[in-house]
Structure 1
Amino acid sequence: MTVETRFAHSPSAVAAMSTSQLRDAFVADLFAPGEVRGVYLHHDRILALGVSPLAEPLDLPVPDQVRARTLLQRREAGVINVGGPGRVVADGSDHPLAHTEALYLGRGTEQVRFVSDDAADPAAFYVFTAAAHVDLPTTRIAREQMNVVEIGTPDASNHRTLHQCIIEGRTRSANIAFGFTTVHSGSAWNTMPPHTHDRRTECYLYFDLAEADRVFHIMGEPDETRHVVLADRQLVASPSWSVHFGAGTGPYSFVWATAGENAAYDDMDAVVTADIR
């Protein structure tokens, strides 16, 4: 288990950062075969993990950063499988997760184990955790149980499908909103036009990119933007004051996940495209 700590940064600090400093502050590689890797963010105390079991299962770790008996003693989690078929065993209950199926793990869940059904096509579990103040039931979220929203247009190069997994009115959480978006063939932009949300930190995990493709991810204040270039299964964190959008050189999807003061999906402040600098 390897869990890095990333500290919070102000807009003025980010505006002065080099490319390598931006990557060190906001980008993480979470997935390595047979390992658990993670990043602990001082932005809203988010802990994000990549769990990559092969022939042997992997258990949910308890990093030193959370100072808890179990990881979910005071936390909740959203889980999505971005790899081959697998299962999550939570307190003895088996939850099969195919590619892009999801699971909500409630506060107080004691034992969590991750399993790949086929070591030749291993599962890859992205686990997004945040502090929780209520106990809510563990819930499997199959594709047919997600709220699906079509957004954007081909003419604007931003046609995409949102799959809302953990969201008010569907699967409840204490303060997590969680889902994934697939950008349609021929489009490039995600989350365009962009927004900020001052009450929530958001993380993007880009996935299903070809090896040669990249996403150019834009962050920073709307009038003082910066960018980082991301490959398949890389995570980028966006502070609550920052925009978060990007464009890919080929087909891709991304998991979006927020935590903070407000879990309402529509709690955001729109940014006019013409105002971006």
Structure 2
Amino acid sequence: MQIRNATSPTEVKGMTTAELRERFLVTDLFVDDELRAVYSHEDRVILVGVSPVTVPLTLESFPELRTDHFFERREAGVVNVGGSGTVVVDGVPFDLGHGSCLYIGRGASVVEFISDSASAAPETEDSARFYLFSAPAHTAYPTTLVPAGTGIVRELGDQSTSNRRTLNQYIHENGVRSCQVVMGVTSLHEGSMWNTMPAHTHDRRMEAYLYFDLPEAARVVHLMGEPTETRHLIVANRQATIAPSWSIHSGVGTSNYSFIWAMAGENQSFDDMDAVDITAVS
């Protein structure tokens, strides 16, 4: 497991591009037949990429957690950003198509990830790719599947401002219950490239984005930092960004794309955000 320390705005002002990428961008979560994890001290969240191309993979605990099982004191949301697959939680299978979400509650013991393509002739591009966002949990809620396109759906933005998008809220205060995790998927319509505008912060929660369905030759210019001291990261398909609570998290792509947004912190109110007037950003 890779460890990422928390940062302050003062540190970020002096960072080089390489230092910003090392601290806030996760580029290598998805490797064939591997399970990779990044622990962030921003609200103690863990980002996990699971790529069971030819063999099933089991999520076990990590030495850094000092627990017998990964979910002993944690919960997680899982979204499949690849081909169809199955997550088996303590013997119960949950089929996840592309973009579907599974909430796994505290106390789960054995969690296995399987790609449907592995039972036939395995193809890397057709394999399931599971993205997991985990936070500490103080109680247990039921493991719950949310198929892609269900949950609460919100249509936002406008084609005239290049940010028409469909937002699917999966794990939140009025949907699938959790202790801390708030999670969903936003997909930009064709011809739209901007996400999360106007930009905002929420000092009560950190947030992570996982960009996916981005063409191989396309990139997202992800904006971060204090509103008056912005920085940027160049992000490719299936790469994740970590946003501290004091940082904006917005971006524009060279193509339309989708992204998983996931939060953890003080509350679960999706609309609890401090909007930033674009004319005040620098």
TM-score range, shorter chain: over 0.9
Question: How much does 1:170 deviate?
Answer: 1.1
Equivalent positions of 1:118-133 (< 5 A) are: 118=117, 119-120=122-123, 121-133=126-138
Cα drift, residue 54 of structure 1: 1.3
Structure 2 CA distance, aligned partners of 1:101 and 1:207?
A: 13
Counterpart in the other structure of 2:211? 206
Structure 1: distance between partners of 2:259 and 2:188: 9
Q: Which amino acid aligns with 2:84?
A: P
Within 5 A, what are the aligned runs for 1:50-69?
50-69=49-68
Q: Tell me if the contact between 2:201 and 2:246 (Cα under 8 Å) persists in the aligned partners.
A: yes
Task: Give, as a single letter, the amino acid of the residue that structure 1 aligns with 2:208.
Answer: C
Cα deviation, residue 64, structure 1: 1.9
Q: Deviations over 1:186-210 (max 9, x none)?
A: 1110001111000111000000111
Which residue in the other structure is 2:240 paired with? 235
Q: 1:147 aligns with which of 152, 156, 163?
A: 152
Counterpart of 1:36, as a letter, is L
SS of equivalent residue, structure 1 residue 107: coil
* Structure 1 Cα separation of the partners of residues 8 and 105 of structure 2: 32
Query: Is contact 1:197-1:269 (8 Å) kept?
Result: yes
Which residue of 2 is the match for residue 197 of structure 1? 202
Q: Any conservation in 1 of the 2:150–2:168 contact (CA below 8 Å)?
A: no
Residue equivalent to 1:5: 3
The alpha-carbon deviation at position 178 of structure 1 amounts to 0.2
Q: Against the structure 1 CA distance between its residues 160 and 145, is the aligned structure 2 distance closer, same or farther, given a 3 Å change threshold? A: closer
Match for residue 42 of structure 2? 43
Q: 1:16 aligns with which of 14, 17, 41?
A: 14
Partner of 2:170: 165
Q: Secondary structure of 2:162's partner?
A: coil
Superposed, 1:217-256 pairs within 5 Å as 217-256=222-261
Instruction: In structure 1, give the amino acid aligned to 2:3.
Output: T
Following TM superposition, where does structure 1 have runs of at least 4 consecutive aligned residues deviating by more than 3 angstroms? none
Match of 2:83 in 1: 84
Task: Give how far 1:61 is off.
Answer: 2.4
Shift of 1:71: 0.5
Indicate the RMSD between aligned Cα atoms, in angstroms. 0.8
Contact 1:40 1:65 (C-alpha < 8 Å) held by counterparts: no
- 1:27 aligns with 25
CA distance in 1, matches of 2:174, 2:41: 29
**Which secondary structure does the structure 2 equivalent of 1:178 belong to?**
strand
Could you tell me whether the CA contact under 8 Å between 2:98 and 2:148 is conserved in 1? Answer: no
Gaps of 5+ in 1: none
Deviation string, structure 1 residues 189-236 (Cα, Å, up to 9, x no partner): 000111100011100000011110000000000000000000000011
Shift of residue 145, structure 1, vs aligned partner: 3.2
Give me the whole-angstrom Cα distance separating, in 2, the residues matched to 1:224 and 1:211.
30
Q: What 5-or-longer segments of structure 2 have no aligned partner?
A: none
Q: Say if 1:62 and 1:214 are closer, same or farther in 2 by CA, change over 3 A.
A: same
Structure 1 residue 264 displacement after superposition = 1.6
Scaled by the length of structure 2, the TM-score of the pair is: 0.96
Cα deviation, residue 65, structure 1: 2.1
Per the alignment, residue 193 of structure 2 pairs with: 188
2:262 aligned residue (247, 257, 260)? 257
Taking the aligned partners of 1:35 and 1:250, their CA distance within structure 2 comes to 29
**TM-score (normalizing by structure 1):** 0.98
Given that 2:166 and 2:189 are in contact with CA atoms closer than 8 Å, whether structure 1 keeps it comes out as yes
Q: Distance in 2 between matches of 1:245 and 1:76?
A: 26
Worse-matched range after superposition: 217-226 or 52-61: 52-61
Mapped contact 1:150–1:161 kept (Cα < 8 A) = yes
8 A contact 1:165–1:178 mirrored in 2: yes
One-letter amino acid matched to 2:2: E
1:22-70 residue CA offsets vs partner (Å, 9 max, x unmatched): 0000111211111011110000000110000012100012122221110
The corresponding residue for 1:111 is 110
